[in-house]
C-alpha cells in the first residue's frame, strides 16, 4: 500500500502509517488528514510538530500526560487536557496524530 | 460513527437467533515475516504446511493432556452456546463456543481418532484444507479466551486452551497475528509492549512526580531501576502512557509513599502483560516472564507487586513460579507475587491510609470483573478474594458503589470485548459487538442506581471501554482505574488536602 505525496509514492502499512519515518514531509499530514475529511489547522500542527520533536529525542510517541502538559504550556492550561486533544483528533491523539506525524502506531494495551 | 450496526441494549438480555457466517469476514492483520521470525515462527505458509500443522497438533496433544481431554469429552450439550459475549453480540453461529471449538475438533478427529481416520463422514471429521485454516484464523480470533463458557460447561472444558492451541498451530504455519506478535517482539527488544525506551520512561515518570507535587504539595517519587529497593512494581506499560491507566499508576505511587516503603519500577521489566499466553506459546510466555525474574535479581528486591493488569495477574498468580521460579530469593513473609489491590487493602485495614471518600462523590461506581482475574486467578488468602478485594478498595475510597446484575459479575463476568489479544483497531467491529452484554449490564445500573462510572483493574479493559463506550451512548471518560479512585481520595501526610481538611490552612 502507498500514498501519493508531491508526485512520489510513499509506502504505508495496513493501517495507513508511513513505513519509513524519514520520508515524512508536511504534505503527508495534510493528505492523510484530507482522506479523513479534516483540514489541518495551526492547532493540529502544534501537536504534530511536538510529536515529531519528541519522537526524535525519545524514539517513541509521548505519553498522554507528557503531551497534554506540553500543549498546556504552549497554548494555555485550558488546552492541556485530553478533551482538547480528542476534539482535534477524534480517533485519539496517540493514534491519529501519530499517523499524520509519520510516527509508528503506539502498540500494546492502549 | 460505525460502518457496521451497533447492537441494541435491551431491557433484559435477549439471546439472538443464529445467523450463519455474519462474522466470517472478521480477521485481524496477519503478521509479516519481520514480526514472526523473532518469536521463532515461519514468515509465511510453508509448502508442507498441512504436515507441519498436523504435527504441531500432535505435539500439543502429547504435551498438554488437558487439550486431548477437552477435544474428546465435549458431548455437544449446548450449555455454552449463549454464554459467549461474541455470540451474543454478533449472533454468528460459529461464535457459539461449542461451534468454534468444533472447527478444531473436526480436524482432530480426522487425524487422531480411529473413527475419524476410517469413517470421517460418520463422525463429522474433515480434512485440513486452506479453507479450514482461514476459518480457524477468523474464528479463533473471535474468542478472547475469557473462559466464561467454561464456567457453565458441565465438563469444565477450558475453551481458552483450545483457542490458544489453534493460534499456536497457526503461528507454526506462518499465520500469526500482527498485533500480538509485533508486541511480543517489542518486549524482547525494548522491554515493554509499547516500545517505550528507558529515557522516555524516565522522562514520563519525572513528569508525573511534578504533576503530583503540583496537585498535593508532596513530593511523591516514581523510582526507576533503584537497586536495593524492597518492592519491585511490575505494571502494564499502558499505565505510563494512556488514560485512565496513568491515574491508577499515580494511585499506586501515592499508596507506596504513604506506606513508607521503598519501591522501584524496572526499565527491563517495564511491562506486566504477557501476550505469550494469548498466542498459546509456552516458550514466548516463558521468555517474557523471565525478564521479571532477572529484574528482581538485578535490583535485589524482596517483594514483587503487580499493578492493574488482568492477564498479567493470571500469568503471575497461576504460572509465574513454574515459568520463572523458584523465587526463593524473595522475602517468604509476603505472597509471591502480590496484587496492588491486596497491598492497598492491607494498609486500609491497618488504618494506615487516610481516605476522604467525598473526593469521589461526583461519581457513582460499579466494578467490572476482568476475566483473567475473575476466572484465571485468586487474590489474597481468602476464597474469592479476586472479587472482594478490589470491591473493598473501591468502597473504602468511594461513598457510592453498586454492582451490576449478578449473572454479569464475579466468575460470571462478561469480557470487555477486547481481551485475549483482540484489542486492535482492525477488529473494531468485533470489539464493539462483543462488548454488548457488558454495556447492557452497565446500562441496567445506570438506570437503576444512577451509576456514572465503571472501574476496572486491567489495562486492556480500560482501553477497550474508553473506545467502545461512545458507541453505546456513554462517554469515554466513564471508565476509571481502581487506584485512580484511591488516588483521588487519599490524603497524603503534609499535603494541601490534609491542611484543608484539618483546617490548618493559612
CATH number for the domain harbouring residue A77: 1.10.10.370
- Rounded distance between C-alpha atoms, residue B388 and residue B378, angstroms: 10
Residue A93 pLDDT class (50, 70, 90 cuts): confident
What's the pLDDT score for residue B3?
87
Say if residue A14 is in the same domain as residue A62.
no
Mean pLDDT (chain B) is 97
Measured between CA atoms, the residue of chain A closest to residue B204 is A66
Residues of chain A with C-beta less than 8 angstroms from the C-beta of B242: 63-64, 94, 109-110
Residue B432 pLDDT class (50, 70, 90 cuts): very high
Scanning B173-192 for CB atoms below 8 A from A yields 178-179, 182-183, 186, 192
pLDDT above 70: percentage of residues in chain B: 99
Say if residue A68 is in the same domain as residue A88.
yes
From residue B202, give the alpha-carbon distance in Å to each of A63, B332, B396, B417, B484.
Answer: 11, 31, 32, 32, 21
Say if residue A59 is in the same domain as residue A96.
yes
- Answer whether B470 touches A (CB < 8 Å): no
Residues of chain B with C-beta less than 8 angstroms from the C-beta of A63: 196, 200, 204, 207, 240-242, 246
ipTM of the predicted structure? Answer: 0.95
> Are the C-beta atoms of B360 and B397 separated by less than 8 Å?
yes
pLDDT at B506 over 70: no
A70 located within any domain = yes
Count of domains for chain A: 2
- Answer whether B405 touches A (CB < 8 Å): no
- Answer whether B246 touches A (CB < 8 Å): yes
Vertex B413 angle, CA B407 and B415, to 5°: 135
pLDDT at B250 over 70: yes
Instruction: With both helix axes pointing from N to C terminus, report the angle between B340-349 and B482-489 in degrees, rounded to the nearest 10.
Output: 30
Please write the tens of the pLDDT for every residue from B51-60: 999 999 999 9
CA B108, B113, B118, B119 torsion-angle sign: negative
Say if residue A46 is in the same domain as residue A77.
yes
Please write the tens of the pLDDT for every residue from B368-408: 999 999 999 999 999 999 999 999 999 999 999 999 999 99
pLDDT at B447 over 80: yes
In terms of DSSP H, where are the helices of B91-232?
97-112, 114-118, 130-139, 148-152, 159-172, 178-189, 198-216
A94 located within any domain = yes
Q: Which helix (H) or strand (E) holds B395?
A: helix B385-397
Choose the closest CB to B208 out of A65, A107, A108.
Answer: A65
Name the least confident of A90-94, B112-116, B319-323, B363-367.
A90-94
Task: Give the contacts of B362 (CB within 8 A, at least 6 positions apart).
Answer: B452
- Mean pLDDT, residues B119-143 taken together: 97
- Mean pLDDT, residues B322-341 taken together: 96
A105 located within any domain = no
Domain ranges of chain B: 33-176, 184-402+451-489
A107 located within any domain = no
- Answer whether B459 touches A (CB < 8 Å): yes
What's the pLDDT score for residue B193?
95
Q: Give A42 to chain B, closest Cα distance, Å.
A: 25
Measured between CA atoms, the residue of chain B closest to residue A58 is B200
Say if residue A73 is in the same domain as residue A28.
no
Domain that holds residue A51: 42-100
- Mean pLDDT, residues B235-249 taken together: 97
Say if residue A28 is in the same domain as residue A58.
no
Mean pLDDT (chain A) is 94
- Answer whether B243 touches A (CB < 8 Å): yes
Say if residue A16 is in the same domain as residue A56.
no
What's the pLDDT score for residue B504?
76
Q: What are phi and psi of B305, to 5 degrees?
A: -125, 135
What's the pLDDT score for residue B312?
97
Residue B1 pLDDT class (50, 70, 90 cuts): low
**Cβ within 8 Å, pair B183-A110:** no
> Are the C-beta atoms of B210 and B246 separated by less than 8 Å?
no
CATH number for the domain harbouring residue A25: 3.30.1420.10
Residue A80 pLDDT class (50, 70, 90 cuts): very high
B33-176 maps to CATH 1.10.533? no
Measured between CA atoms, the residue of chain A closest to residue B274 is A108
Catalytic residue among A9, A39, A78, A109: A109
- Answer whether B59 touches A (CB < 8 Å): no
What's the pLDDT score for residue A1?
87
A86 located within any domain = yes
**Cβ within 8 Å, pair A107-B425:** no
- Mean pLDDT, residues A68-90 taken together: 92
Task: Give the contacts of B236 (CB within 8 A, at least 6 positions apart).
Answer: A108, A109, B193, B245, B271, B272, B273, B307, B308, B309, B312, B459
- Mean pLDDT, residues B123-144 taken together: 98
pLDDT at B140 over 80: yes
Please write the tens of the pLDDT for every residue from B260-312: 999 999 999 999 999 999 999 999 999 999 999 999 999 999 999 999 999 99
Which grid coordinates are listed for B364?
A: 457513582
Say if residue A46 is in the same domain as residue A87.
yes
Choose the closest CB to A63 out of B246, B425, B460.
Answer: B246
Q: Which helix (H) or strand (E) holds B255?
A: helix B245-259
What's the pLDDT score for residue B2?
72
Say if residue A12 is in the same domain as residue A60.
no
Tell me how far the alpha carbon of residue B236 is from its chain's centroid. Answer: 10
Residues of chain B with C-beta less than 8 angstroms from the C-beta of A104: 195
The answer to whether residue A109 is catalytic is: yes
**Residue B401, CB half-sphere, CA atoms under 13 Å: how many?**
18
- Answer whether B370 touches A (CB < 8 Å): no
A11 located within any domain = yes
Residue B341 pLDDT class (50, 70, 90 cuts): very high
Please write the tens of the pLDDT for every residue from B466-496: 999 999 999 999 999 999 999 999 999 999 9
Scanning B250-279 for CB atoms below 8 A from A yields 271, 273
pLDDT at B344 over 70: yes
Say if residue A47 is in the same domain as residue A31.
no
Please write the tens of the pLDDT for every residue from B77-115: 999 999 999 999 999 999 999 999 999 999 999 999 999
Amino acid at each position: 500500500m502507498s500514498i501519493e505525496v508531491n508526485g512520489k509514492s510513499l509506502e504505508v502499512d495496513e493501517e495507513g502509517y508511513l513505513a519509513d519515518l524519514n520520508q515524512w514531509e508536511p504534505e503527508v499530514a495534510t493528505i492523510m488528514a484530507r482522506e479523513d475529511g479534516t483540514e489541518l489547522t495551526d492547532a493540529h500542527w502544534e501537536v504534530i510538530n511536538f510529536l515529531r520533536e519528541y519522537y526524535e529525542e525519545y524514539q517513541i510517541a509521548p505519553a498522554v500526560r507528557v503531551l497534554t502538559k506540553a500543549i498546556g504550556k504552549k497554548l494555555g492550561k485550558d488546552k492541556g487536557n485530553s478533551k482538547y486533544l480528542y476534539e482535534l483528533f477524534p480517533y485519539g491523539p496517540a493514534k491519529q496524530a501519530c499517523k499524520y506525524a509519520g510516527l509508528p502506531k503506539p502498540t500494546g494495551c492502549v | 460513527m460505525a460502518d457496521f450496526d451497533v447492537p441494541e441494549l435491551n431491557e433484559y438480555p435477549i439471546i439472538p437467533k443464529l445467523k450463519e457466517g455474519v462474522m466470517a469476514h472478521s480477521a485481524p492483520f496477519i503478521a509479516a515475516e519481520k514480526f514472526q521470525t523473532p518469536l521463532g515462527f515461519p514468515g509465511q505458509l510453508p509448502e508442507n504446511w498441512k504436515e507441519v500443522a498436523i504435527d504441531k497438533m500432535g505435539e500439543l496433544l502429547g504435551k498438554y493432556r488437558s487439550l486431548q481431554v477437552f477435544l474428546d469429552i465435549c458431548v455437544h450439550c449446548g450449555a455454552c452456546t449463549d454464554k459467549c459475549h461474541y455470540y451474543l453480540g454478533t449472533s454468528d453461529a460459529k461464535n457459539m463456543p461449542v461451534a468454534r471449538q468444533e472447527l478444531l475438533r473436526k480436524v482432530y478427529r480426522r487425524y487422531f481418532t480411529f473413527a475419524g481416520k476410517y469413517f470421517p463422514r460418520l463422525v463429522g471429521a474433515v480434512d485440513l484444507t486452506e479453507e479450514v485454516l482461514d476459518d480457524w484464523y477468523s474464528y479463533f480470533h473471535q474468542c478472547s479466551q475469557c473462559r466464561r463458557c467454561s464456567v457453565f460447561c458441565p465438563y469444565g472444558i477450558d475453551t481458552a486452551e483450545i483457542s490458544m492451541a489453534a493460534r499456536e498451530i497457526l503461528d507454526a504455519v506462518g499465520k500469526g497475528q500482527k498485533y500480538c506478535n509485533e508486541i511480543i517482539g517489542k518486549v524482547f527488544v525494548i522491554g515493554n509492549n509499547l516500545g517505550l525506551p528507558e529515557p522516555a520512561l524516565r522522562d514520563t515518570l519525572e513528569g508525573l512526580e511534578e504533576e503530583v507535587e503540583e496537585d498535593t504539595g508532596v513530593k511523591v517519587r516514581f523510582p526507576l531501576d533503584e537497586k536495593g529497593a524492597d518492592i519491585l512494581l511490575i505494571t502494564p506499560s499502558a499505565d505510563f502512557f494512556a488514560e485512565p491507566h496513568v491515574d491508577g499508576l499515580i494511585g499506586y505511587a501515592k499508596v507506596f509513599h504513604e506506606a513508607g516503603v521503598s519501591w522501584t519500577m524496572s526499565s527491563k521489566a517495564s511491562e506486566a502483560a504477557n501476550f505469550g499466553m494469548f498466542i498459546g506459546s509456552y516458550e514466548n510466555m516463558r521468555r517474557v516472564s523471565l525478564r521479571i525474574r532477572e529484574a528482581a535479581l538485578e535490583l535485589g528486591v524482596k517483594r514483587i507487586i503487580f499493578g492493574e493488569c488482568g492477564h498479567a495477574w493470571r500469568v503471575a498468580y497461576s504460572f509465574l513460579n513454574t515459568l520463572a521460579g523458584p523465587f526463593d530469593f524473595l522475602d517468604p513473609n509476603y505472597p509471591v507475587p502480590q496484587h496492588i489491590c491486596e497491598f492497598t487493602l492491607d494498609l486500609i485495614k491497618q488504618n494506615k491510609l487516610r481516605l476522604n471518600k467525598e473526593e469521589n462523590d461526583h461519581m457513582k461506581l460499579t466494578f467490572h470483573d476482568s476475566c483473567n482475574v475473575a476466572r484465571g486467578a485468586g487474590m489474597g488468602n481468602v476464597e474469592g478474594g479476586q472479587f472482594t478485594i478490589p470491591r473493598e478498595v473501591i468502597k473504602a475510597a468511594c461513598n457510592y458503589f453498586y454492582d451490576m446484575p449478578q449473572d454479569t459479575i464475579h466468575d460470571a463476568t462478561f469480557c470487555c470485548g477486547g481481551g485475549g489479544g483482540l484489542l486492535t483497531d482492525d477488529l473494531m467491529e468485533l470489539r464493539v459487538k462483543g462488548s454488548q452484554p457488558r454495556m447492557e449490564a452497565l446500562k441496567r445500573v445506570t438506570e437503576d442506581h444512577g451509576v456514572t462510572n465503571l472501574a476496572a483493574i486491567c489495562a486492556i479493559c480500560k482501553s477497550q471501554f474508553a473506545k467502545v463506550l461512545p458507541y453505546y451512548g456513554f462517554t469515554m471518560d466513564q471508565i476509571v482505574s481502581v487506584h485512580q479512585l484511591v488516588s483521588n481520595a487519599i490524603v497524603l501526610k503534609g499535603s494541601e488536602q490534609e491542611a484543608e481538611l484539618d483546617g490548618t490552612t493559612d
